Each structure stands twice: as C-alpha cells, then as structure tokens.
C-alpha cells in the first residue's frame, strides 16, 4: 500500500491556518497514519480543526490541537491573576479528573470572573474545562465558548410506536445513511436557508469568505461524538409541555455544531484576545474581549451567527428525517452549549455566562442530556439553580481519552455491547465506545437539584462518522 501524502496547500484549503499547526499535522500523519486511506485521514484532520476540544487529551492528535491554540508572545504587559479565587460549586467532584478542577481553579482567579460552577460531566479541555460554567462582567472569552460554537442537541418525536422501529429497522438505517453527512462529507444537495442572507456574512471580514463553505456544509454533522440516531422516547411526566400522553414514541436525536464556520471564528478571535489581554501561562487560553470594544462586539455577532447556523443544520437534518418518514413531528426540543449568554444573576447583576459543554437549565427551560450510543439520554426541565448559574451537564462525560479508548477496547467488545442493547451502529469507532463514557445515571444523580427528568431517549439505530 502506498504511503499517504498530504500537502500544506491541502490543509490550508481544509481550513488550517498557516503556521506550525500545518507542519505538526503533516508530521503526525506521516508518523501514525501513513497507511490509512487519504479520505479518512482528511476527515480526521477536519474533525480536529473543527472540534479541537474533543481531541485535546488525545496522545497523538492532541499535538495538533496544541499548535492550533498555541500563540506567540506579545509586547503588552501580562495581566496578573487574582491571588484569592472566587468560590464555586462543583457537582460530582469524585468523578471529575484533577486536570478539569485545576483549570476551573485558574478560571475563578481571573479579574473579570463574577461566579462559576463545574458540572458532573467535566473533563479537561483548553481554557475552561469542558463542563465549566463561568460568569464574567461585560467580557467574553472565545475559548470559554470553545471552538465548536453553538454545538447543540435536537430531538423530534413522532406519533409512531416502538413497534414501527422494530418492523422497519432496515428502512430507518437507509434513511439515516441517505439523509446525513459527517466530517469530511458534504450533502449532495444542501438546502438553502434564510440564514445565508444575514448581514454578518458581508459585514464581518473573517466571516465573509466562509459563506460558501458554510452553505456546502449546512445540514451536515461533525466527527467525533457527533451523531444522528433513531430511538425511543418515553415521556414519563403527565404534566409535560408536549401535550402528549405518557408513553413511548419513535424519535430522532442529533448532536452537532457549527462546523468550519464556528471553528474559524473561534480561532481568529482567540488569537486576537490572547494578543490584547495576555495572561500568565496557566491562564493564557482564557484571554477575553471587552464587549465595549469593536473586537468584542464583532465576536459577539459572529458567535451568535455560528450558533444560529448550528441550529439551522439540525433543523435541516430533522426536516430530511420527517420527509423521509412521511410524518410530521409532535414536538421538537433543542438546546445548545459552547456559547455565551447575557443573563442576570439572582442579585440582578447582568453578566456574560459561558457554558462550555454545559446545558442551560433556567427554571422551566427544556433540554436534552444524552448518554452514549447504548445508554439513555434524558429530556429535562431546568430548576433554575443559582449555585449552578442555571446550568446542568451536557452529557455523561468521558472516562477515557480517544486514544486510550482505542487501546483499551476491541471491536468484538463493542459489537457485543451493541448487540446486548439492541443497537445498530453505522460508522463510529472504538474512540466512541460506550465504555469510554461515565455512567450517565450517576451523572444525573449528581444534578438532581439542577433539573427534573420528564422523559428519556434510548438510541436504537445510530449514525456517526466512519
């Protein structure tokens, strides 16, 4: 088999910024993936670019992530951290790795920090840990939002019973494969959308050249832990907001973000923030933009556009599913993470709430907290806890890094778990094996004060990147 060859020009076309990240990516490919198919490797490199947080702890791909977020020093005087940290609430501390706690301990020493919280699915990332919630005063931290801006969950369910799924497994698998695209793939006929008429695509210089690629990628999903799946929703709360009886329904659940659009926006404004607000080494990825500045206002508009684009991608996915099924959904529930919101604290102060890998859980707010490809997810109603800054976890959280998962489990073990749970998997890999994740039931137990469960979603036919 010929050795794979990847050029810098190809990586720049993929979206990689000129610099050390390109050289590192080429070296990593030549050292570890030279016998893989080129299409598969390019898809992997795109996934790292679009969602570096998901690969930060990977022993191999994490080297590329480091170069993507590493910056040169500036001549501006370094801003010191506070000596006294803000107190913050941690949920499920015994299940959270030390690296995530250490990152949160740094974040609460920022001079702009007002309040903070750490969710039970937390693990180490860049800047804020994944599962970190941080409220700041009139400032936004691009890496407090993350690279996959507006990554979100979206669920629709139908007036069809579990029997329909069991009788039509082959048909539903075909629907998934024909109406979804992941990673490096693009849909053959992307649907147009009003979002492409938004003025931000013309007014913001970093966004303008991204419009064509965003159109080609609309309605598609990223790699890593992103998915589209058929499963069974069970509504358990008689007083539910959906206007349906308790019981089981066919459902579609999707998880993805803003693709290349969000990743490019995040990289650009993180670079800018690190140059204008240089911080000590342990905090440098928490650099911020003042919302009274032109750059801060520009990032806010671009971030909002990327979040809305992520929502549009999900709506297109679910519209395709509904059309293929020939059914209209009874209800849609969606929520996003990796975003910043302007909110008011209990004492009336307006703050910017960063939720990196955390679900909004204000009083009465609906959301979905997924498990794994074989474990249930939960439809929840927020309780509005001020200690968590109206937040909850965004999933189960990882126990194993991607590389460790690949080295710890076998394909046979994965197939055995899938079969035992009646799950069919299209694509996916050992890095997303359900054994690599925390026990979602324990995670939910840690946050009983944050959300109430009104239903569950159990996956049955799962589509992920190959």
Residue whose token pair is 């991608």 = 313
CA atoms within 13 A on the CB side of 458: 11
For residue 413, the SS3 value is helix
139, 291 in Cβ contact below 8 A?
yes
Taking only the tens place, the pLDDT of each residue in 243-255 is 999 999 999 999 9
**What tokens does 131 get?**
């599962």
The three-class DSSP label of residue 287 is coil
pLDDT digits (tens, 9 = 90+) for 128-145: 999 999 999 999 999 999
pLDDT for res 72: 40
Q: Is the pLDDT of residue 356 over 70?
A: yes
pLDDT for 49: 85
In this model, does residue 325 exceed pLDDT 90?
A: yes
Percent of the chain with pLDDT over 70: 98
| pLDDT higher than threshold 60 for residue 1 | no
Q: Is the model more confident about 209 or about 67? A: 209
- The two beta strands, 424-426 and 451-463, are parallel
Tokens 């990223």 belong to which residue? 222
> Region 144-161: what's the mean pLDDT?
97
Q: Give the pLDDT mean for 387-396.
A: 97
Question: With DSSP H G I counted as helix, E B as strand and the rest as coil, what are the percentages for the chain, rounded to 5?
Answer: 40, 20, 40
Is residue 45's pLDDT more than 90? no
Give residue 390's region: left, alpha or beta (phi > 0; psi -120 to 50).
Answer: left
Looking at the chain, how many residues does it have?
Answer: 466
324-349 average pLDDT score: 96
Residue 56 pLDDT grade (very low, low, confident, very high; cuts 50, 70, 90) = confident
Contact 245, 225 (CB under 8 A): no
In the chain, where the domains are located? 8-69, 152-260+307-336+356-463
Number of alpha helices (DSSP H) and beta strands (DSSP E) in the chain: 15, 17
Which residues have CB under 8 Å from 238's CB, separation 6+?
246
Region of 27 please: left (phi>0), alpha (psi -120 to 50) or beta.
alpha
3-state secondary structure (DSSP) of residue 433: coil
Cα distance between residue 118 and residue 130, in whole Å = 9
Find the mean pLDDT for residues 315-322. Answer: 98
Over range 302-328, report the average pLDDT: 98
Tell me what pLDDT residue 2 has.
62
Instruction: Read off the pLDDT of residues 99-129 as tens digits, 9 standing for 90 and up.
Output: 999 999 999 999 999 999 999 999 998 889 9
Q: Token pair for residue 57?
A: 């702890």
Q: How far apart are CA 96 and CA 187, in angstroms?
A: 38
pLDDT > 90: percent of the chain: 80
pLDDT at 283 over 70: yes
Question: Whole-angstrom Cα distance, residue 337 to residue 150?
Answer: 6
pLDDT higher than threshold 50 for residue 71: no
| Tokens read off for 12 | 């720049």
- Select from 317, 315, 382, 312 the least CA-distant residue to 343: 382
Query: Which positions ≥6 away from 68 have C-beta within 8 Å?
Result: 17, 21, 48, 49, 52, 267
Class of domain 152-260+307-336+356-463: alpha beta
pLDDT for 70 equals 64
Q: What is the mean pLDDT of residues 267-293?
A: 95
Asked whether 224 and 256 are in contact (CB, 8 A), the reply is no
What mean pLDDT is predicted for residues 293-301? 97
Residue-wise pLDDT for 228-240, tens only, equals 999 999 999 999 9
Residue 262: pLDDT over 60:
yes
Would you give the distance in Å from CA 81 to the centre of its chain?
A: 28
d(CA 451, CA 122) in angstroms, rounded, equals: 17
Burial of 244 (0-12, 13-18, 19+ CB in 10 A): middle
What's the pLDDT at 73?
Answer: 41
**Confidence band, pLDDT 50/70/90 cuts, at residue 18:** confident
């Amino acid at each position: 088999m010929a050795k794979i060859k990847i050029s810098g020009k190809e990586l720049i076309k993929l979206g990689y910024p000129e610099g050390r990240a390109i050289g590192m990516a080429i070296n990593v490919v030549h050292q570890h993936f030279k016998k893989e198919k080129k299409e598969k490797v390019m898809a992997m490199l795109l996934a790292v670019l679009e969602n570096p947080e998901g690969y930060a702890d990977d022993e191999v791909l994490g080297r590329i992530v480091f170069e993507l977020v590493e910056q040169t020093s500036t001549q501006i005087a370094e801003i010191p951290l506070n000596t006294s940290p803000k107190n913050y609430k941690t949920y499920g501390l015994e299940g959270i790795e030390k690296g995530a706690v250490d990152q949160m301990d740094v974040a609460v020493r920022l001079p702009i920090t007002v309040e903070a919280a750490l969710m039970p699915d937390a693990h180490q990332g860049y800047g804020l840990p994944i599962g970190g919630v941080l409220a700041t005063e009139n400032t936004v931290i691009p890496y407090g939002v993350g690279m996959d801006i507006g990554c979100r969950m979206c669920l629709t369910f139908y007036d069809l019973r579990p029997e329909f799924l069991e009788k039509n497994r082959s048909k539903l698998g075909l629907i998934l494969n024909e109406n979804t695209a992941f990673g490096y793939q693009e849909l053959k006929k992307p649907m147009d959308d009003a979002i492409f008429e938004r003025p931000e695509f013309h007014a913001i210089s970093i966004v303008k050249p991204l419009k064509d690629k965003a159109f080609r990628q609309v309605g598609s999903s990223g790699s890593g832990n992103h998915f589209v799946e058929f499963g069974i929703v069970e509504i358990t709360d008689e007083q539910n907001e959906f206007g349906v009886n308790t019981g089981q329904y066919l459902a579609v659940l999707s998880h993805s973000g803003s693709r290349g659009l969000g990743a490019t926006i995040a990289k650009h404004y993180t670079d800018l923030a690190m140059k204008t607000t240089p911080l000590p080494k342990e905090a440098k990825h928490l650099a911020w933009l003042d919302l009274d500045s032109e750059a801060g206002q520009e990032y806010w508009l671009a971030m909002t556009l990327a979040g809305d684009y992520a929502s549009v991608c999900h709506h297109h996915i679910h519209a395709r599913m509904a059309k293929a099924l020939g059914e209209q959904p009874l209800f849609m529930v969606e929520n996003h993470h990796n975003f910043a919101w302007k909110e008011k604290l209990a004492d009336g102060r307006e703050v910017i709430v960063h939720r990196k890998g955390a679900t909004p859980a204000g009083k009465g707010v609906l959301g979905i907290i997924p498990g794994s490809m074989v474990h249930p997810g939960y439809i929840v109603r927020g309780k509005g806890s001020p200690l968590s800054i109206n937040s909850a976890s965004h999933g189960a959280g990882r126990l194993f890094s991607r590389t460790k998962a690949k080295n710890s489990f076998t394909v046979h073990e994965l197939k055995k778990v899938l079969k035992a749970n009646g799950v069919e998997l299209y694509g996916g890999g050992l890095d997303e094996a359900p054994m690599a994740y925390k026990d979602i039931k324990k995670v939910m137990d840690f946050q009983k004060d944050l959300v109430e469960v009104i239903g569950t979603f159990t996956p049955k036919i799962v589509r992920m990147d190959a």
